[in-house]
Chain A
């Protein structure tokens, strides 16, 4: 045993407290929730139905349906039935950016992967990016243009829009184009063309989640309203004040990748960054921090002032928040390799952050003002001015370019009313959202997977998007609409983009001889990158002013403070109608399909007198601010700062498809303007009251527990890891007849021999940040059914891969009573959990029909058509990773809302044809993406060569931005996984399963039960000086 303190790990409060609601179901794989399936039927009905269905089945079996095979008339050269094509493209949603590769099967995009050629996102993706392929097949999409909510054709719409625009223009009336941040230079050029035709046009950009305060602060410090690039990979000490940079802040894919490199440790590299997080809500980033301190929004200024004063060597007043002094001293000690980020949208606060970073020498190393990012360009003042003008009837015409301010701007309701005053209101949104419905004209744009476009996320970093499918509906690219309305004839946006690239980039390069080859190379790679500037902008200090303003601003608030945050899954609300994201458990709360407020245990206990049980039963609480009251269910969240309440944006959409209908309330109207920018922290005026209304949340946190088994999470701290790379490891022993032995040495089985490949996986708990992109990627790749809120409550979610989120109690392990008190600020560990592909698989031995068997390559195979649904396997699975199809989730109207991908003709286009859609009554689980293994092997065989490492990549591995998941052939000594795990084969039995794992960090979950999984986890290491001090 190492010196590691044995911690108590718990998934939810109910588990820690041993709540009766938890205990009741803890040992059950399948929980009977008292759901009566269909009480209206009698035994006679059953017999009648059975008789009928037997007769129908035998009749149907006699006559096979006639199936047609319809080949192309003229087959395109590079399109072969059954063989996927890949196209580089770009995902953009407002200012969110990701360079992607689209997998197209028989003309239909079915999967997205990151594009590793991009220097910005470097092959990373996020849950939202992975899920966006389903939004292409959203039933809520507009089928074509509409006028006054009646279907119209493009000619009529163009005629009317042009005549109204001309009428407004000749009168000298004002025209506005309103959009979110636009990353596309060609789009901006197109808008300029539109402006040239209608000179009174002004283009207003705003962002639902505003960064205007940051832009203004940088204007003050650098004379230019920019957002710099942050390079987390160079930071040894990272201090974040509320910025969820791994989840939602600014450019999380890019940051997660860079942050991951600083968190990776190994026997050879026993060093990692240290991360301090000061925040109110427990965010994904806070969960990954080494030191996380509870801070109220009103304390932000004081914390920053304290850090500044310590860094500047001045006397510092204590802010009353833990670890501030320690953080500041370490920042100072790591000058030039430290970084302070803050989520505040208050200009004064951000100016002070700039001052700190300047003193720390961060500019030019961890923060690059020479490489400003274009992700957020929204101007809150301009947007507010526009809404005021609209209300005052000063606006003649407005075009909403793929934005939805009626929903996602605090003054949306006012804007909606004011639109009646305008002569013309057009929306280019591809769904009839709130803004489109309030506008007379809907001129729907293509989905991004149907469009041509270019993007400039950072100066000199360009990328292209190209259509991966012919437009499904009668939509038209919005840029073409602008050009048509500007009076151009025969426009094709493709030629606009390529012409621009010819003029802008082709003319300035020398490597390609003709434009076509240059263009094709760019299109093939998806990105075009040029060397960037290295000159940093000069810094002007305004420190005294900033300090004074910030300390004035931070008054000690009384009563509850509200922290409004961006939902991790559905983002700012634009993705609300995507069921993949709605059913994705929030990384922290593990809640699905719901909108809730997070409150601390202390407040719940003492002020609101409420409790959550293990089944998510809670009560609504009412929040009142400035005369408006909302009621939302309360979710008691460990790690929530007492006195604060967290609530997510993105819910409460009024005009949204069937998926998100009626979920939550819209809290955008509560976002207030402070110092000219939108402020997401509300420090005063909030009244909170409990109600008697019951509510049940669908949380997955305590589903699938291990029934008190230990050694699931093995972790240590860096100081101990430096001494001993095996720190935190536990080596369970089991008792033989006379001695304690290694569980692996005792087995009834002879042990397999895998002569061909031996597939295995390693998951690094240190670089995994719990982002859950892998979960969505797995869903899309493997046609995993989405079951909806009711079935999640019944613990019937189908995810093959889940991310277990463990809190650890900081109580002294000897003090059993204290260990039961839930920590106010627990440490968090994430653990991706899927089928472990055990070599001695307990599921295989109990299947009465041999539907789950072992392959000669180490896979635990699941054969759906052999399965008769006894569920013995799931009951016998120690990892609780087998999922049972309680219903037929496809072609079943009952799941129309939650599972459109299997219930509508449009949605079905997203299904992966390589993977069977499972029917009712069969078990399913992670297959190690066996379809990808088969494809990889076939490619090698066709080319008559051995397989190469990296040829087979599982969907979860491909989605992982930080490279925490490594999959490969453990028989191949040159493979990444063999090297990572330092595998040594037994010379006597080179193809046997008992290979020596040389990496001291590698362990198998529940090693003591001897099932010998093929998935290895690498210990979690936190960069703390010591284990968390006991409370």
Chain B
């Protein structure tokens, strides 16, 4: 918008930079060390997973065994960096897979170094080999889970006991009244009569001033509490679940397909806003997948894509999503601080989004809720030199781990300015 030429050039420069740096690494063997595998896993989950699985065919082929299938490791590296170039060069294997997968072009990952691509392959290889062990482990955890008493049973037991107690109360009452009748038919001394016909009947108790006071007090207290709770809930939109213009399912994307949150919410590590993805991110997959769906057609309408001719018309119309999480303007919140620096999972605040067909506001998002978490949460000081000095000072004075509140996490000007 402002300066496309400059940004184009910056992109070009970065590309050149990365290409030149990537030439410096020569290792062409798939590493087997755990570091490389875990690095590869992170890269795979963040970037590949939306189209590839290790053992399952998705948009692209299942990657297990790719190192044996493809012509060479060097070929894979070149392909990942620029698939279009490889296809255009007339490479036989490249064209074969291109045609096999409905001529859907893979995204070019120009910024990857050779080492990064190799680490992805390392992960793929190790994951493919893990196949046999996984189901057993899953069974084990399932078995372990059933050993505890489910909470629904507990409720039933408590309910049953209450019922029995009530029954006993009724029976006892009946016995008392029967005994009274029986005793009244007999001749009794005056003292005994007084005992039998004691003034403390149900009616006298309910009319006593003490009882009335108690009842009034309880009603007033409950009423007061309800009012206060009601007032506190003003502006709190927990469970807010508006209808969105496009029926996008997080359950499908984040749940079933396990697409990393950061793949679409690109700003979450960088800054304040996590970013609602722009339709061009959707198009990475949906040029191929589910073209006929009326919901996908809405994306096409927004970005101006003609699925019949597979071309862009240039007629764009932004999608007006309904905002779910609305912090008041007076509160400053930054995603990067929490997700990037703090290393907090998205689900901590947003709940099990991967199970939500339609997203709702999971947390309270009140100041009390924020403060509560700041009191309980340890500062993520691992590998962050910013906290070194602070952590050292903290540990020299206290034994407990440094919490967010210990470094000013409860101060007004952390969020209000």
Contacts and interface: CB of A to CB of B under 8 A. Distances in A.
Nearest to B9: A520
B272 interface: yes
Given A61-B235, A947-B386, A73 B279 contact: yes
Interface string B301-320: 01110000000000011111
Interface in A723-756: 755-756
A861 B412 contact: yes
Contacts of B394: 755
Contacts, number: 189
A78 B273 CA distance: 14
Contact of B407 (A66, A856, A915, A991): A856
Given A70-B321, A938-B341, A865 B384 contact: no
A297 to B, nearest CB: 49
Interface in A889-927: 914-917, 927
Contacts of B330: 864-865, 916
B142 interface: no
B416 interface: yes
Given A861-B412, A934-B332, A946 B9 contact: no
Interface in A52-103: 58, 61-62, 64, 66-83, 85, 87
A517 interface: yes
B321 A69 contact: yes
A520 B6 contact: yes
B69 interface: no
Interface string B3-32: 111110111010000000000000000000
B413 interface: yes
B272 A467 contact: no
B271 A755 contact: no
Contacts of A104: 2
B234 interface: yes
Nearest to B367: A865
B206 interface: no
Interface string A790-816: 000000000000000000000000000
Nearest to A755: B393
A953 interface: no
A865 B321 contact: no
B389 A73 contact: no
Nearest to B335: A82
B110 interface: no
Given A107-B1, A755-B393, A855-B413, A941 B384 contact: yes
Interface residues of A, number: 68
Contacts of B389: 755-756, 946
B273 A82 contact: yes
A401 B109 CA distance: 50
B411 A80 contact: no
B291 interface: no
B386 A944 contact: yes
A705 B12 CA distance: 59
A916 B416 contact: yes
Contact of B242 (A66, A74, A863): A66
A944 B381 CA distance: 9
A942 B267 contact: no
B417 A931 contact: yes
B2 A87 contact: yes
A937 B408 CA distance: 13
A915 B320 contact: no
B408 A69 contact: no
A988 interface: no
A74 B408 contact: no
Contacts of B376: none
Interface string A432-473: 000000000000000000000000000000000011111000
A859 B272 CA distance: 23
A71 B319 CA distance: 7
Contacts of A74: 278-280, 303, 316
Contacts of B13: 517
Contacts of B56: none
Contacts of B2: 85, 87, 104, 107, 466-470
Given A69-B276, A856-B407, A942 B336 contact: yes
A865 B384 CA distance: 33
A397 B179 CA distance: 122
Nearest to A937: B386
A624 interface: no
A382 interface: no
A917 B330 CA distance: 9
A537 interface: no
Nearest to B385: A945
A93 B336 CA distance: 40
B72 interface: no
A536 B279 CA distance: 62
A1025 B219 CA distance: 86
B271 A866 contact: no
A876 B331 CA distance: 28
A80 B393 contact: no
A70 B273 contact: no
Given A78-B7, A866-B412, A72 B386 contact: no
A470 B322 contact: no
Given A87-B2, A87-B3, A942 B322 contact: no
A516 interface: yes
A930 interface: yes
A70 B334 CA distance: 19
A853 interface: yes
Interface of B: 1-7, 9-11, 13, 234-235, 237, 240, 242, 266-267, 269-273, 275-281, 302-304, 316-323, 326, 329-330, 332, 334, 336-337, 340-341, 383-390, 393-394, 407-408, 411-414, 416-417
Given A68-B323, A855-B408, A914-B417, 19 more contacts: A64-B326, A73-B303, A73-B304, A73-B316, A76-B1, A82-B271, A107-B2, A516-B5, A516-B9, A755-B393, A756-B389, A856-B407, A856-B411, A863-B412, A865-B330, A916-B417, A941-B341, A942-B269, A944-B383
7 contacts: A70-B319, A82-B273, A520-B9, A755-B390, A861-B412, A931-B417, A941-B337
Interface of A: 58, 61-62, 64, 66-83, 85, 87, 104, 107, 466-470, 516-517, 519-520, 523-524, 755-756, 853, 855-857, 859, 861-866, 914-917, 927, 930-931, 934, 937-938, 940-942, 944-947, 991
| 6 cross-chain pairs, A with B, having the tightest CB-CB distances, nearest first | A82-B272, A861-B413, A863-B412, A856-B408, A75-B278, A67-B323
